[in-house]
Amino acid sequence: MGCGTSCSTKDRKSEKVFISHGSAALKAALIIQNWYRGYSARLKARQRYALTIFQSIEYADEQGQLQLSKFFSFMLENYTHIHEKDPELVARLFGSTLQDCKDRQEYVSCIDVPDSYNGPRLQFPLTFTDIDILLEAFKQQQILHAHYVLEVLFETKKVLKQMPNFTHVKTSPSKEITICGDLHGKLDDLFLIFYKNGLPSGSNSYIFNGDFVDRGKHSMEILMILFVSFLVYPNDLHLNRGNHEDFMMNLRYGFTKEILHKYKMHGKKILQILEDVYTWLPIGTIIDNEILIIHGGISESTDLNLLHRIERNKMKSVLMPPIPLDEDHDTDLKTKVGATIIPREVKTNGSLSEQLTKHEWEQVINILWSDPRGKRGCYPNKSRGGGCYFGPDITSKVLNKYQLKMLIRSHECKPEGYEICHGGKVVTVFSASNYYEEGSNRGAYIKLCCDMTPRFFQYQVTRTTCSRPLYQRVNAIESSAIRILKERMISRKTALIRAFQLQDHSKSGKLSMAQWAFSMENILGLDLPWRSLSSHLVTTDKNGNINYMSSFQDIHIQKPVKEAQSTLIETLYRYRSDLQIIFNVIDTDHSGLISMEEFRAMWKLFSSHYSIPIDDFQVDELAERMDLNKDGSIDFNEFLKAFYVVHKLDKLSKSDSNLP
């Protein structure tokens, strides 16, 4: 190991003596290094577990979203009696909201910008000055007036309409192109990218690969910056549609709420136009006829020629699949629900020409929702519930078919902001750092040029100037992940307990690790390393057996009303996101209130479709109690807020994150 000599050197500056004892110091250093590397590795593993938790739950939620689409279809078929009483409701759910769309002039000109407004003012036609104005204003937390928002949206739609489904781009030695992935409303990340990489311009091209909105708090600001930049440099700033550029996704994942909150008066108008603008976003970009850039991925049946041809604006939402076109069904619908029934985008004369075919629709879904995996072949994407998993053989097959060399996509959060797979043929780029939680992941962007290898740039937004030590960051992410996992457990408490008790023949309250892990995975439907996580979720006895009821001791759902039964509470808590969407859709005037009748009708349909074994009268009773002022309407935001989860050890766990 070391040489036997020893020597000493004097460091004059500090007057300390560094004594090298040869092998003793060497051994000591080795011990410390060895120990530290082990510790550091375990920290990283914990960080990974936490990210897996976040990701699994996120995808499970997306699955819930798609289940909701089936519910809407179900409602369409069973909705007769409700329609009779409330035709507007049906129109809102299933009809084209643009039937009464006014002329742009009417929309925009009837909204005045008052003199007292001191937010950013845009001048049409837009120039690069307007980009600067917007950036400066947003840095100071200003909000762009609805008048300008609408103008930008109308202009953007006009320009997008002229673009083909795939934008074809050429690079040259002097002109690199930068590709960014999901931003999800994280404005700081966009600022950071522009700071590091420069603003978009004629000599600085960008591609933004979808998912600009939802989840983050500044989706509107990001959208405005991107659209304005696009209008100023339509040939140098390219936008691809992501799965969140979808008005139905926005209902669940926060953008709709953001708009209605920031634009109390004109939010509804903005939402209407936005729905339409989304559908005109291009499906993808192709660079130098070699590199395909799309948001999600591909499937084995991906047909780029077909995708070039389809009328992409007919793809309204992932939650609105095309209705089957046979004539009998058509007549049935008419007789059931009257002449004005409008499955999405159908004209009143009954023609269904405004939809994509099922095949075309599936092609687009695959582009927006699929994920690459190491396993060969093409499989339905179980965790998200839409699109598929595609293997390296599929990638090769499809890329070869169209003489392409590489696929760049986004859609999945990666710890390093990017990931290369399928032998270098598939690259994921994700640009929202700290996506799940502060410190959860880096963001990245790619710079491409001609035949040169792509260059990757990483970054991470931090709120503080000096970052916390690694163990604190990991503790914070870990406790946040465990929290949401526990909330998931509590929302399925009854089913979990039943599964545990089925295996606990001796009624001892204990199970083996294997039994516990098996039930957890089965009931929660999450593919997680349960054994490694068990120490955070349950207590074990000295034989290593799990006390399965211990998970539920420090957490419960606060009951809004004492008398309500726990299974009802649990169910309402579990489905609260879905219910929120449905309520938002029913609430046509966005007042936050729905009538008791609407609530009852909705609940009946919902519970029968989702097979929820709860007496209707229990729900009725609950709703009545929630109608606090007895005027026959429920403030559903209050109703849903009432179901919040109480973590008994909350105070403790908050300060825990600062403990080493």
Partner 1 sequence: MCGPPKQRDQHCAERDLICRPNLPLGSSVLSPGSVFKAPVGWSLGLPGYSQALLEIGTIIRSLGCCPSEGELHDLIAEVEEEEPTGYIRFEKFLPVMTEVLLERRYRPIPEDTLLRAFEVLDPSKRGFLTKEELIKYMTEEGEPFSQEEMEEMLSAAIDPESNSIHYKDYIAMMVVDDS
Q: How far is the CB of 640 from partner 1 (least distance, A)?
A: 33
Q: Which of 145, 410, 452 is nearest to 270 (CA)?
A: 145
Give yes or no for a contact between 489 and 481, defined as CB atoms under 8 angstroms apart: no
Nearer to partner 1, 30 or 339 (CB): 30
Please provide the DSSP assignment of 413-454 as one string.
--TTSEEEEGGGTEEEEB--TTSSSTTS--EEEEEE-TTSPP
* Binding piece for partner 1, criterion CB under 8 A, among 255-263, 311-319, 369-377, 424-432: 369-377
Between CA 200 and CA 130 the distance in angstroms is: 13
Nearer to partner 1, 223 or 538 (CB): 538
Instruction: For residue 37, state whether it binds partner 1 (rule: CB under 8 A).
Output: yes
* Binding piece for partner 1, criterion CB under 8 A, among 107-115, 143-151, 152-160, 512-520: 512-520
- When binding is defined by CB under 8 A, the residue of 6, 10, 38, 85 that contacts partner 1 is 38
- When binding is defined by CB under 8 A, the residue of 33, 80, 494, 550 that contacts partner 1 is 33
* Binding piece for partner 1, criterion CB under 8 A, among 20-28, 64-72, 222-230, 316-324: 20-28
Residue written as tokens 């020409």? 353
Between CA 392 and CA 282 the distance in angstroms is: 26
- When binding is defined by CB under 8 A, the residue of 465, 535, 591, 629 that contacts partner 1 is 535
Structure tokens at 184: 């999800």
Give yes or no for a contact between 445 and 179, defined as CB atoms under 8 angstroms apart: yes
Nearer to partner 1, 512 or 566 (CB): 512
- When binding is defined by CB under 8 A, the residue of 6, 28, 338, 616 that contacts partner 1 is 28
For strands 205-208 and 177-180, give the pairing. parallel
Instruction: For residue 39, state whether it binds partner 1 (rule: CB under 8 A).
Output: yes
* Binding piece for partner 1, criterion CB under 8 A, among 66-74, 149-157, 359-367, 511-519: 511-519
Instruction: For residue 470, state whether it binds partner 1 (rule: CB under 8 A).
Output: yes
Q: Which amino acid appears at position 50 of this protein?
A: A
Between CA 220 and CA 367 the distance in angstroms is: 24
Q: Any residues with CB less than 8 A from the CB of 215 and at least 6 apart, and which?
A: 184, 185, 253, 254, 435
Instruction: For residue 21, state whether it binds partner 1 (rule: CB under 8 A).
Output: yes
* Binding piece for partner 1, criterion CB under 8 A, among 11-19, 62-70, 168-176, 600-608: 11-19
Q: What residues form DSSP beta bridges with 547?
A: 510, 539
What residues from 373 to 402 belong to the interface with partner 1 (CB under 8 A)? 373-375
Q: What residues form DSSP beta bridges with 144?
A: none
Instruction: For residue 27, state whether it binds partner 1 (rule: CB under 8 A).
Output: yes
Q: How far is the CB of 179 from partner 1 (least distance, A)?
A: 22
Instruction: For residue 24, state whether it binds partner 1 (rule: CB under 8 A).
Output: yes
Q: How far is the CB of 29 from partner 1 (least distance, A)?
A: 4
- When binding is defined by CB under 8 A, the residue of 4, 114, 173, 660 that contacts partner 1 is 660
Give yes or no for a contact between 385 and 66, defined as CB atoms under 8 angstroms apart: yes
- When binding is defined by CB under 8 A, the residue of 256, 302, 433, 475 that contacts partner 1 is 475
Q: Any residues with CB less than 8 A from the CB of 437 and at least 6 apart, and which?
A: 50, 54, 476, 477, 480, 481
Cis bond leading into 87, ω under 30°? no
Nearer to partner 1, 16 or 562 (CB): 16
Instruction: For residue 71, state whether it binds partner 1 (rule: CB under 8 A).
Output: no
Q: Which of 570, 626, 617 is nearest to 593 (CA)?
A: 626
Structure tokens at 393: 């053989």
Instruction: For residue 652, state whether it binds partner 1 (rule: CB under 8 A).
Output: no
* Binding piece for partner 1, criterion CB under 8 A, among 246-254, 429-437, 487-495, 524-532: 524-532
Instruction: For residue 514, state whether it binds partner 1 (rule: CB under 8 A).
Output: yes
Structure tokens at 242: 């992501």
Q: Is 395 helix (H, G, I), strand (E, B) or coil?
A: helix
Q: Which of 169, 222, 237, 210 is nearest to 297 (CA)?
A: 210
Spell out, one character per residue from 430 to 469, where the chain touches partner 1: x when CB under 8 A holds, - when not. -------------------------------------xxx
* Binding piece for partner 1, criterion CB under 8 A, among 34-42, 160-168, 203-211, 270-278: 34-42
Instruction: For residue 508, state whether it binds partner 1 (rule: CB under 8 A).
Output: no
Q: Which of 312, 134, 306 is nearest to 230 (CA)?
A: 134
Q: How far is the CB of 376 from partner 1 (least distance, A)?
A: 9
Beta carbons within 10 angstroms of residue 398's beta carbon: 23
Between CA 631 and CA 94 the distance in angstroms is: 28
What residues from 158 to 217 belong to the interface with partner 1 (CB under 8 A)? none
Phi, psi of 284 (to 5 degrees): -170, 180
- The upper half-sphere exposure of residue 349, i.e. CA atoms within 13 Å in the direction of its Cβ, equals 3
Q: How far is the CB of 64 from partner 1 (least distance, A)?
A: 21
Instruction: For residue 498, state whether it binds partner 1 (rule: CB under 8 A).
Output: no
For strands 177-180 and 443-448, give the pairing. antiparallel
Give yes or no for a contact between 458 and 416, defined as CB atoms under 8 angstroms apart: yes
Instruction: For residue 98, state whether it binds partner 1 (rule: CB under 8 A).
Output: no
Instruction: For residue 513, state whether it binds partner 1 (rule: CB under 8 A).
Output: yes
Nearer to partner 1, 25 or 143 (CB): 25
> What is the DSSP secondary structure assignment for residue 594, as one 8-state letter?
E
Instruction: For residue 613, state whether it binds partner 1 (rule: CB under 8 A).
Output: no
Give yes or no for a contact between 330 and 352, defined as CB atoms under 8 angstroms apart: yes
Nearer to partner 1, 25 or 497 (CB): 25
Q: Any residues with CB less than 8 A from the CB of 597 and at least 6 apart, and which?
A: 85
Instruction: For residue 331, state whether it binds partner 1 (rule: CB under 8 A).
Output: no
Nearer to partner 1, 117 or 471 (CB): 471
Instruction: For residue 512, state whether it binds partner 1 (rule: CB under 8 A).
Output: yes
Instruction: For residue 14, state whether it binds partner 1 (rule: CB under 8 A).
Output: yes
Nearer to partner 1, 17 or 265 (CB): 17
- When binding is defined by CB under 8 A, the residue of 32, 110, 339, 652 that contacts partner 1 is 32
Nearer to partner 1, 68 or 474 (CB): 474
Q: Which of 374, 452, 439, 384 is nearest to 412 (CA)?
A: 384
> What is the DSSP secondary structure assignment for residue 352, as one 8-state letter?
-
- The upper half-sphere exposure of residue 161, i.e. CA atoms within 13 Å in the direction of its Cβ, equals 8
> Largest Cα–Cα distance of the chain, in whole Å?
99
CA distances from 4 to 8, 25, 32, 304 (A): 13, 11, 21, 70
* Binding piece for partner 1, criterion CB under 8 A, among 26-34, 309-317, 321-329, 555-563: 26-34
* Binding piece for partner 1, criterion CB under 8 A, among 228-236, 333-341, 360-368, 522-530: 522-530
Q: How far is the CB of 62 from partner 1 (least distance, A)?
A: 17
> Which listed residue (244, 266, 422, 536) is catalytic?
244
Known catalytic residue at 244: yes
Q: How far is the CB of 292 from partner 1 (least distance, A)?
A: 24
Report the interface residues with partner 1, using CB under 8 A. Answer: 11, 14, 16, 18-21, 24-42, 44-45, 48-49, 51-52, 373-375, 467-471, 475, 503, 505, 512-515, 517-518, 527, 529-532, 534-535, 659-660
**Catalytic center residues:** 244
